[in-house]
């Protein structure tokens, strides 16, 4: 399948964060949540360390993963703190990774994924200072890609998520986007399907949430990732074979019932095109949206390129809404 990015997207030429910016061991910096704090930008990013491309190709693997912290005055130039800010590891948990930040009532809630000996879990932590974190909720396996809405809806906290059912999806990773509600951010339920892979015409594998949604008068703007597989793809990045391509779509959810998709672009919003996205990464042909910040009439999209660096793109908020106006009904 041949795709192109929507013309409304304007990319910054260079990544805003790479391993070179990190003052402690680092080889890959990506999947970063971004928010605003006291007029500044704050970023939490996944940091994989302890393995180079050459070591990987010879059979070695990363020493570990932690989550780094960075601040910025302009959202473009980042100062990384001298130490990681978040890590989990014990007899059951192997690592925590892929943070997403949502501000709710002045507090900073971080959704993250956790690899355990018994499956992938999704967690939620809260912090006021990005120094001390309280873990308030952990899902059962297998669930991940959780993102919180920035306010209660009908008196309930709401999140998008991507459960990973294999048996019921024919043994394949045909994963979909779901929504769950909570009275207290601890106990979750009343789950509903939001979007199935079959409703995304440019996907032949799986979909999942991306950045935390942004509220507009037209509805909740929500980015999602989608994957298409091409068996003709060979070695891309560090892997011996990598047949997947991760791209970005956009949809509009009802303000009062965000389980309802009221608009969705019939074409991809962003597909891998630049050198950072198509070559030199851990896995080439990978885009993953992790943060959306609204600045005036503009949306800033922070995204992972190549599972290796954090990049930035911009578009006008209204143009993003307009891209969602053609809803796919079948």
> Rounded distance, CA 81 to CA 198, Å?
42
| pLDDT, tens digit, 9 for 90 and up, residues 239-297 | 888 899 999 999 999 999 999 999 999 999 999 999 999 999 999 999 999 999 999 99
Q: Can you give the pTM of this predicted structure?
A: 0.97
pLDDT at residue 94 greater than cutoff 70: yes
| pLDDT, tens digit, 9 for 90 and up, residues 111-155 | 999 999 999 999 999 999 999 999 999 999 999 999 999 999 999
Looking at residue 328, what is its pLDDT? 44
Looking at residue 215, what is its pLDDT? 98
Looking at residue 330, what is its pLDDT? 38
Q: 142 by DSSP, 3-state: which?
A: coil
The residue to which tokens 């018994």 are assigned: 118
Looking at residue 181, what is its pLDDT? 98
**pLDDT-derived band of residue 170, with 50, 70 and 90 as boundaries?**
confident
269, 5 Cβ separation under 8 angstroms: yes
Q: Please name the residues in contact with 187: beta carbons below 8 A apart, sequence gap of 6 or more.
A: 137
Based on the number of CB atoms within 10 Å of its own CB, is 319 exposed (0-12), middle (13-18) or buried (19 or more)? Answer: middle
């Amino acid at each position: 399948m041949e795709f192109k990015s929507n013309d409304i997207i304007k990319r910054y030429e260079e990544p805003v964060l790479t391993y070179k910016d990190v003052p402690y061991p680092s080889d890959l910096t990506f999947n970063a949540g971004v928010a605003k704090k006291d007029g500044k930008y704050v970023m939490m990013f996944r940091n994989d360390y302890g393995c180079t491309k050459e070591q990987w190709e010879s059979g070695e693997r990363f020493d570990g993963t932690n989550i780094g912290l960075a601040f910025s005055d302009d959202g473009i130039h980042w100062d990384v703190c001298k130490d990681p800010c978040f890590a989990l590891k014990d007899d059951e948990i192997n690592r925590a990774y892929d943070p997403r930040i949502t501000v709710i009532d002045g507090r900073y809630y971080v959704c993250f994924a956790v690899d355990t000996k018994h499956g992938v879990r999704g967690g939620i932590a809260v912090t006021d200072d990005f120094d001390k974190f309280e873990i308030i909720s952990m899902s059962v396996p297998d669930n991940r890609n959780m993102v919180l809405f920035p306010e209660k809806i009908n008196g309930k906290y709401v999140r998008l998520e991507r459960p990973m059912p294999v048996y019921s999806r024919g043994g394949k990773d045909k994963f979909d986007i779901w929504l769950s509600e909570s009275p207290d951010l601890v106990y979750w339920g009343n789950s509903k399907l939001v979007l199935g892979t079959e409703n995304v015409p440019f996907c032949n594998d799986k979909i999942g949430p991306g950045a935390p949604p942004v509220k507009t008068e037209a509805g909740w703007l929500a980015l999602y990732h989608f994957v298409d597989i091409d068996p003709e793809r060979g070695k891309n990045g560090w892997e011996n074979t990598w047949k997947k391509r991760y791209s970005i779509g956009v949809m509009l959810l009802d303000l009062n019932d965000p389980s309802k998709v009221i608009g969705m672009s019939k074409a991809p919003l962003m597909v891998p095109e630049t050198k950072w996205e198509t070559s030199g990464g851990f896995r080439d042909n990978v885009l993953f949206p992790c943060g959306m910040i609204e600045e005036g009439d503009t949306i800033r999209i922070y995204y992972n390129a190549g599972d290796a660096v954090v990049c930035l793109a911009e578009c006008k908020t209204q143009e993003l809404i307009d891209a969602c106006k053609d809803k796919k009904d079948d």
